[in-house]
Amino acid sequence: MPPCRCAWPNTVWACIGCSTDSPRQVLVYVGEAPMRMDSELRGDDVSFRYRAVDIRELDGERLLASGEVGDNVIAILARLPDQQEGIRRIVGRIAGLEPDERAAALSELLIGCWLEAFGRDRGTGGPKNAAS
């Protein structure tokens, strides 16, 4: 299921197990600053619980090895050691999809690449939060 738009900047929503009676929601934080979000949202007429994950905690290589193209695209945000090779592999997988799926996956890939590039230090090309 593609991520949906939400009210918080630097976040992506995913629904895992949506075909079951009890889907799990995951909020993936992709911001530069350390994540400081709670795992629930409560209001007068609404209550949500979800797992909040910082993208930097995910294993990019494992996501790239997944058979799901959506996981492969998220691998870009998890800071793969070799971004160019990762993107080549993802584009190769996308090329094998049906036309409608291919168009959606390419859109997701472009968004992922933009988000990843946005998080890079313009002076060094490395992650903004990288230790020196």
25-65 pLDDT, tens digit per residue, is: 788 888 778 888 888 888 899 888 888 888 888 899 999 99
8 Å CB contact between 83 and 62: no
Exposure of 58 by Cβ count < 10 A (0-12 exposed, 13-18 middle, 19+ buried)? middle
- Categorize the per-residue pLDDT at 102 as very low, low, confident or very high, splitting at 50, 70 and 90: very high
Instruction: Say if pTM beats, i.e. exceeds, 0.85.
Output: no
